């Protein structure tokens, strides 16, 4: 029997296995439950366990369990989220996946390079890899949540893989880079800021831009999108975000009308 997404318990973080930082697979707006099952199987083969589903069309669903084969446990503990922001909140590195070469200023890498980055970042923070819907892929709005984009190289004739096949290829590279015995890159000194911390930073920045009457001159309301891309590309760590938040607070203290508290 098919169950509507709305009746499923809200998104809550999965507990990382053995206390390690984790790599989560996030599937957004998946249309076919069979693809969810096949993705779960691909994950389990490659040692990944954390599946987050953002607005799945049909889940739980018998097709998902049939395609998962021996990976039912991944589906059973999958988290359902209403927004991408919920699914990535605690993550430092957020990687988007795209079949298309987008003409946008993102760092676009191949799966092997992406896996090497992940091997470094999971030493100090959670990582999310985000996959779009079968039909449309990720929207530009969803891409503004990502620090980098990964594209699986293909024949120029047909670049779009089946969703679960794309999960398989990327999960395989992550396994090679992180399996026991693989040489590990040195951890960063300070963890990356999480997606949630970045969201709070952008809200603070918007507030200050409003306060100093800095208007969007891009003409199409794209200022915040560009700002998000700029800072996400910079991979800010927690200290760096704190410095920026401190600067914003100092601006507010200078500009706020007498008697009004500084918003945090
Ligand atoms: N029509 C969509 C393709 C969607 S395929 C588009 O043009 O973007 C469904 C998802 O599988 C994509 O959103 C992406 O997450 C993943 N995917 C498919 N092919 C890929 C590729 N070559 N590289 C990286 N991810 C890919």
> Model-level pTM?
0.91
Residue 123: predicted pLDDT = 94
Residue 10: predicted pLDDT = 47
CA of 201 to the centre of ligand 1 (A): 30
Q: Beta-strand (E) ranges in 29-90?
A: 50-54, 79-81
Closest C-alpha to ligand 1, atom 5: 134
Q: Which atom, in ligand 1's list, is nearest to the CA of 152?
A: 23
Q: What is the chain's pLDDT, residue by residue, as a tens digit (264 residues)?
A: 344 443 444 465 554 444 457 999 999 999 999 999 999 999 999 999 999 999 999 999 999 999 999 999 999 999 999 999 999 999 999 999 999 766 666 778 999 999 999 999 999 999 999 999 999 999 999 999 999 999 999 999 999 999 999 999 999 999 999 999 999 999 999 999 999 999 999 999 999 999 999 988 877 778 999 999 999 999 999 999 999 999 999 999 998 666 666 655
Kindly list the domain boundaries of the chain, sorted by start residue: 14-178, 195-255
Ligand 1 pocket, mutate which of 94, 99, 153 (most atoms under 8 A from CB): 99
Torsion of CA 153, 158, 160, 161, to 10 degrees: -80
User: For residue 126, what are the β-bridge partners?
Assistant: 91
CA of 124 to the centre of ligand 1 (A): 28
CA of 240 to the centre of ligand 1 (A): 33
Ligand 1 pocket, mutate which of 87, 137, 171 (most atoms under 8 A from CB): 137
Please give the CATH architecture assigned to the domain spanning 195-255: Orthogonal Bundle (1.10)
Distances (CA, A) of 228 to 125, 163, 202: 20, 27, 7
DSSP symbol at 5: G
Residue 29: predicted pLDDT = 98
Residue 261: predicted pLDDT = 66
Fold category of 14-178 in CATH: Alpha/beta knot (3.40.1280)
Closest C-alpha to ligand 1, atom 20: 99
CA of 54 to the centre of ligand 1 (A): 16
Residue 7: predicted pLDDT = 41
3-state secondary structure of 63: helix
CA of 136 to the centre of ligand 1 (A): 8
Give the residues surrounding ligand 1 with Cβ less than 6 Å away: 97-100, 131-132, 134-138, 150-152, 154, 159-161, 163, 166
Cβ(23)–Cβ(174) below 8 Å: yes
Distances (CA, A) of 259 to 56, 209, 213, 253: 48, 20, 20, 11
3-state secondary structure of 234: coil
């Amino acid at each position: 029997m098919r169950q509507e997404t709305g009746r499923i318990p809200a998104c809550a973080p999965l507990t990382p296995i053995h206390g390690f930082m984790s790599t989560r697979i996030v599937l957004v707006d998946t249309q076919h439950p069979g693809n969810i099952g096949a993705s779960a199987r691909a994950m389990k083969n490659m040692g990944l366990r954390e599946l987050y589903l953002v607005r799945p069309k049909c889940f739980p669903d018998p097709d998902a369990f049939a395609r998962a084969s021996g990976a039912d446990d991944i589906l059973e503990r999958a988290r359902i989220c209403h927004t991408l922001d919920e699914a990535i909140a605690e993550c430092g590195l957020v990687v988007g996946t795209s079949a298309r070469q987008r003409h946008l200023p993102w760092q676009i890498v191949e799966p092997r390079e992406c896996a090497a980055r992940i091997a470094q970042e999971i030493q100090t923070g959670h990582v999310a890899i985000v996959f779009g819907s079968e039909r449309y892929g990720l929207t530009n709005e969803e891409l503004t949540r990502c620090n980098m984009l990964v594209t699986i190289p293909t024949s120029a004739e047909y670049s779009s893989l089946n969703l679960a096949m794309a999960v398989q290829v990327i999960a395989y590279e992550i396994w090679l880079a992180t399996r026991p015995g693989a040489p590990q890159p040195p951890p960063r000194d300070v963890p990356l800021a999480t997606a949630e911390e970045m969201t709070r930073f952008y809200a603070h920045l918007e507030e200050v831009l409003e306060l100093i009457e800095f208007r969007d001159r891009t003409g199409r309301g794209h200022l915040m999108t560009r700002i998000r891309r700029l800072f996400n590309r910079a991979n800010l760590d927690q200290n760096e975000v704190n410095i920026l938040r401190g600067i914003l607070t100092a601006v507010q203290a200078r500009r706020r009308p007498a008697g009004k508290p500084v918003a945090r």
